[in-house]
Each structure stands twice: as C-alpha cells, then as structure tokens.
C-alpha cells in the first residue's frame, strides 16, 4: 500500500501556450441557478439541459454550471476529449482553479493510468455529483456569505499526467502512448476566460497538489494578460521539495520547457539549473504588484512520502519546506505563506478550508484578505509543539470518512509529534 502511495504522491506533487484554438467551443448547461445550487447541497441530480451551444453565447448566469469542450488540440492522456467547467458569477471577480491528482513521466508510472492519475476528464454529471456528495467545498462553496460564493469559477480538470505543463505525444514503448497536453488544455480554458471576461478587477488563481504547480505556472500568463487587474495566486500543497533528478526525468517527456514563460528570464536557464521553488521566486518577482502565496501543512503526508520514496530523509522535509518558504518570501515583498499544523494534504477545495486555523487566524479569512484586502496579510505559521496538534486529525481517531481520510498517517511515526500525541 505504501508503494502505491509513493507513486500516487509522486504523481500528485510534481505549469499558457499557443493561442491556436480555432475550433468552435461547445458548452453544456447544468440547468437553472437554483438547480445548480440544489445539486451542491445534495438536493438535485444530474443536469437536465443537454443542449450544445456556441461559445458566442453569454457567460453562464450566476450559480449555473456549464461544461465547455474547447476542441482544437486539447486532449486527455488517452486521446479522449477535454472539457472544463464554469460556474457563473460576478464578471469582475474570477477564480481559476487547477485540479490536482497524479502525474506520470515514464513507462512504469504511465502504465497505471486510472489508478495513479485520472486519464479522462470527468463529465459535467460526474462533476456535479461530486459537488452534491460534498467532495468539493472550500472555495467552491456556494453558500451565501462565503467569501467566494458569488465569484465566477473556472474549474480546470486534470487528465494528462503532466501537472498542467505538457505539450507532447509521448511514446513509452510497447504501445503505451500518452498525450501530455495539460499546457494546451489549460491554455484553451484561459483563452475562453480572456474572451468572456475581458476586464475583471480580481482574478484568483489556485490549485492543490499537482494543480498547485499548474496554478503557479499559468499565473504568470494570467498576470501578463490582465495587467490592470489584481491577480492573486495561492498554491496549496505544492512546496516543490523534490530531488534534483525529477525535473530532468519528467519535463523532457512532457515537452514542458516550452511552457515556462520566456518573458521571465530567470526561467529560461538550463533545465539542470532549475528547481521548483525557482518558479515561485521568479514569477512573484516578475509581477510585483500582484500577490503570490503558498500553503501546506507542516508535516504534509503526501509530500513527505514523495520525498522519502526518492531517498530523502522524512525528518529533513519540514525544515527544507520552511527554508524554501523563507527564501521565496525574502526574494519578493509580494509573497506570503500559511503553514498549519498536522499532515493533511490540500485544503482549498474541501469543507475544512473554513475551519482550518493557525494562531487564531482562519485560513479562509487569511485567504480572503490575501485576495481582496488593501494590504496582504502577514504570513502565518505554527511553531514548535503547536505544529503537532491538528484539531481536525486529532478528532479523527477511528474515523475514516472525509475529512478524516486525510489523516490516516497522523502523527508521523518518525516525528517528535508521535510523542506529543
């Protein structure tokens, strides 16, 4: 089981593109706004309206979800069509959320698609059913009064195994062919956003796990396009603490070097000189008027297991994580971080986004100030034994349902928290 978790995280943890999407976009309506909200509360089922409509039609009404199939060169890893989803809302406030969930870069890791990474984009019905089951919460929560409830939300699914960075058809041998088109897919979704939301005042680019790296990379293109807006990027559970060999093993197979923004000189140096934290440092420095941030728990189980499986010492990861945050924050005045206790992986798309708290500061309130405040919040971090007491996981002993499923290895056997708990 641990071997499988190693592969899963390796795939999970590890970034807009040619604007050549000339094929007609098609969309599918998720029903009336009330029905969409009802689905989010588990009161309704699949969408009723199956009509396909032209991209030229108006943006979705507030609360209504649309499925958009961009066509063109967009593909999922096995060649199936790509789609993304849009929830209508305020036209001056837009969220772009990059889905996480696995990666592959060689014959071994790519041969197990479906179990280690999603190889097809889910349908609108499947996505809405996940909302109805409570699998999406946090920044997706439509409850009136929530900070992002009335925002337009563009959900960028992930089905290419390349952390939203790829543009390659990879032949791994023995008939194993993978379409690493995450860069193309995400860029098509952004093209649609640019066309339909030409002048938002606030754009919030987010993602967790693999999606954190998609958010980080594509935020550079979003910031360049919306030069008059405030763009905020929050990478959730994507610290980039990996071995030096990973980028050299993965990026060439994805043809991901072409995704790195050539208008940021610090990201044009040779691959052997690049590290994932360089991405955060270079992009935040290139756009000083925008805001960039990271969040991950002090003992993020998935990220630590990934690092351990590559030969690293798990006890080293927490210190390396904090050192990386300090380095990036020192490089630019527009960078912040939020480090909660515990070992849970990802928070932004989950219900506990609203209950997560560090030193009396709730993650939801901190994020709202990061995105909308006149001044960004100060960085927040647990310290010492305070990092060993996660209220969510401490209450989860013997419970396996969400969110407790994220606490299965708490506290880490190797850490001082084992004694503290």
Beta strand 361-362 with 357-358: parallel, antiparallel or unpaired? antiparallel
CA 23 – CA 173 distance, rounded (Å):
31
Phi, psi (degrees; rounded to nearest 5) at 40: -60, -25
| Mean pLDDT of the 251-256 span | 93
Q: What is the pTM of this model?
A: 0.87
Taking the mean position of all CA atoms in its chain, how far away is CA 284? 17
Looking at residue 43, its pLDDT comes to: 26
* DSSP track, 153-175: EEEE---SSSTT---EEEE-STT
- Which CATH number does 2-420 carry? 3.40.50.1820
Helix (H) or strand (E) holding 302: helix 301-309
Tens of pLDDT, residue by residue over 192-219, are 999 999 999 999 999 999 999 999 999 9
Q: Three-state DSSP class for 339?
A: strand
Start-to-end CA span in the chain (Å)? 24
From the list 286, 271, 257, 281, the residue with the least C-alpha distance to 329 is 281
- DSSP state, residue 379: P
Distances 175 to 74, 78, 148 between C-alpha atoms, Å: 21, 12, 45
From the list 336, 337, 234, 334, the residue with the least C-alpha distance to 289 is 334
CA 97 – CA 153 distance, rounded (Å):
7
Q: Which residues share a beta bridge with 338?
A: 295, 380
Q: Three-state DSSP class for 382?
A: coil
Q: Give yes or no for a contact between 203 and 222, defined as CB atoms under 8 angstroms apart.
A: yes
pLDDT at 312 over 50: yes
Taking the mean position of all CA atoms in its chain, how far away is CA 45? 26
Looking at residue 1, its pLDDT comes to: 38
| Mean pLDDT of the 312-339 span | 94
Looking at residue 44, its pLDDT comes to: 25
* DSSP track, 220-269: HHHHHHTTTSEEEEEEES------THHHHHHHHHHTGGGGS-TTSGGGSS
Q: Give yes or no for a contact between 162 and 106, defined as CB atoms under 8 angstroms apart.
A: no
Looking at residue 46, its pLDDT comes to: 27
Tens of pLDDT, residue by residue over 52-87, are 333 455 689 999 999 999 999 999 999 999 999 999
CA 86 – CA 188 distance, rounded (Å):
13
CA 301 – CA 410 distance, rounded (Å):
8
Tens of pLDDT, residue by residue over 93-139, are 999 999 998 788 889 888 876 666 788 999 999 999 988 887 889 99
Tens of pLDDT, residue by residue over 21-31, are 333 456 666 65
Beta strand 90-98 with 84-87: parallel, antiparallel or unpaired? unpaired
From the list 318, 315, 312, the residue with the least C-alpha distance to 299 is 318
More confident residue, 308 or 261: 261
Phi, psi (degrees; rounded to nearest 5) at 320: -65, -40
Looking at residue 25, its pLDDT comes to: 54
Query: Domain-by-domain residue ranges, the chain?
Result: 2-420
Using H for helix, E for strand and C for coil, what is the string for 46-91?
CCCCCCEEECCCCCCCECCEEEEECCCCCCCCCCCCCCEEEEECEE
């Amino acid at each position: 089981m641990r071997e499988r978790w190693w592969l899963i995280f390796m795939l999970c943890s590890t970034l807009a593109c040619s604007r050549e999407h000339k094929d007609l976009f098609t969309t599918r309506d998720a029903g009336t706004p009330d029905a969409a909200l009802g689905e989010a509360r588990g009161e309704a089922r699949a969408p009723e309206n199956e009509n396909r409509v032209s991209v030229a039609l108006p943006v979705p009404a507030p609360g209504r979800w649309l499925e958009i199939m961009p066509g063109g060169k967009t593909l999922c890893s096995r060649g199936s069509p790509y789609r993304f989803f849009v929830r209508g809302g305020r036209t001056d406030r837009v969220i772009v959320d990059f889905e996480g969930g696995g990666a592959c870069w060689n014959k071994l890791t790519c041969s197990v698609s479906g179990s280690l990474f999603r190889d097809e984009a889910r349908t609108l019905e499947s996505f809405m059913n996940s909302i109805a089951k409570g699998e999406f919460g946090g920044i997706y929560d439509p409850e009136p009064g929530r900070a992002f409830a009335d925002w337009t939300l563009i959900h960028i699914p992930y089905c290419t195994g390349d952390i939203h960075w790829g543009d390659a058809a990879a032949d791994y041998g023995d008939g194993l062919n993978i379409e690493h088109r995450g860069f193309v897919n995400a860029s098509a979704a952004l093209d649609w956003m640019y066309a339909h939301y030409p002048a938002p005042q606030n754009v919030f680019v987010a993602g967790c796990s693999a999606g954190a790296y998609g958010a980080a990379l594509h935020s550079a293109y979003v910031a360049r396009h919306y030069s008059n807006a405030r763009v905020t990027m929050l990478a959730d559970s994507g610290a980039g603490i990996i071995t030096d060999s990973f980028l050299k093993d993965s990026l060439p197979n994805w043809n991901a070097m072409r995704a790195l923004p050539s208008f940021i000189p610090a990201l044009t140096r040779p691959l052997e000189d690049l590290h994932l934290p360089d991405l955060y440092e270079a992009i935040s420095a290139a756009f000083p008027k925008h805001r960039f941030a990271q969040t991950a728990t002090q003992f993020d189980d998935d990220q630590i297991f990934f690092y351990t499986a590559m030969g690293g010492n798990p006890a080293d990861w927490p210190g390396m994580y904090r050192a990386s945050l300090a380095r990036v924050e020192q490089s630019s005045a527009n960078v912040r971080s939020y480090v909660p206790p515990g070992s849970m992986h990802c928070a932004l798309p989950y219900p506990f986004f609203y209950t997560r708290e560090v030193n009396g500061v709730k993650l939801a309130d901190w994020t709202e100030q990061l995105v909308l405040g006149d001044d960004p919040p100060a960085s927040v971090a647990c310290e010492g034994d305070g990092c060993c007491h996660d209220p969510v996981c401490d209450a989860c002993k013997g419970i396996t349902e969400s969110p407790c499923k994220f606490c299965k290895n708490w506290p880490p056997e190797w850490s001082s928290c084992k004694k503290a708990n």
